[in-house]
Amino acid sequence: MSNFKKGDELFDFLKVISEKNESKTVEIRTLYKLGIIQIKDGKVVFAKSSSGEFGREAFLEIINWKKSKFQILELSYSLKENILVENQFSQLVKNYKVVDDTLVKKDIDNHECELLAECPIYNKFKGKGIKNFWIRVYCKGRKHVECERKLIHLSGETVPDKLLPNGKDLIDIENSII
């Protein structure tokens, strides 16, 4: 095991590992939290936090922890992959920046997704009152950069028609208010 490094260097460290297509497992700690991020061949493939989050949510939580420290773990095995979008880290690098040692979302002037015309979710919910929540928050809101549909599309994979921007399946909630 290596020595702990200051957490404010974590994002830049992960970015370098990703750009070099390296593989590393990193343990991140705060006074009360513990997290693991694994990068394989430059892609973030696993993240878990002590709060119980897994995958993308855990990754976003961990890289935003204040007063953290991290170290490289020497594992002789790979953790079970729980982040499936290949280009996720590169998308995060585009959407976040470090300001005064804090990772913050970039101010994105264009709050409208460039994929609206071809998106079945946008076409299904436009003009539907409260159900256009997805459009207000994701399609034409700041969260369009976090849209699971968009991330999958950008990775070159086929996007399931019933996938909602938050990663849940439309069939599961189709009869609910939102």
Considering the domain architecture, whether residues 100 and 114 belong to the same structural domain is answered as no
pLDDT in tens, 89-121: 556 655 555 555 445 555 545 567 878 888 888
CA 47 vs. chain centroid, Å, equals 10
pLDDT of residue 178: 43
Where does a domain end: 57, 80, 104?
104
Where does a domain end: 104, 137, 159?
104
In single-letter form, the type of residue at position 77 comes to Y
CA 137 vs. chain centroid, Å, equals 16
Residue range of the domain that includes 28: 5-104
Q: What is the DSSP letter of 163?
A: B
Total domains present in the chain: 2
Find the mean pLDDT for residues 58-66: 82
Q: Could you tell me whether strands 43-49 and 24-29 are parallel, antiparallel, or unpaired per DSSP bridges?
A: unpaired
pLDDT of residue 104: 52
pLDDT in tens, 113-128: 878 888 888 887 776 6
Q: Is the pLDDT of residue 77 over 80?
A: no
| Residue 178 in domain | no
Mean pLDDT (the chain, rounded):
75
CB 25 within 8 A of CB 73: yes
Considering the domain architecture, whether residues 31 and 82 belong to the same structural domain is answered as yes
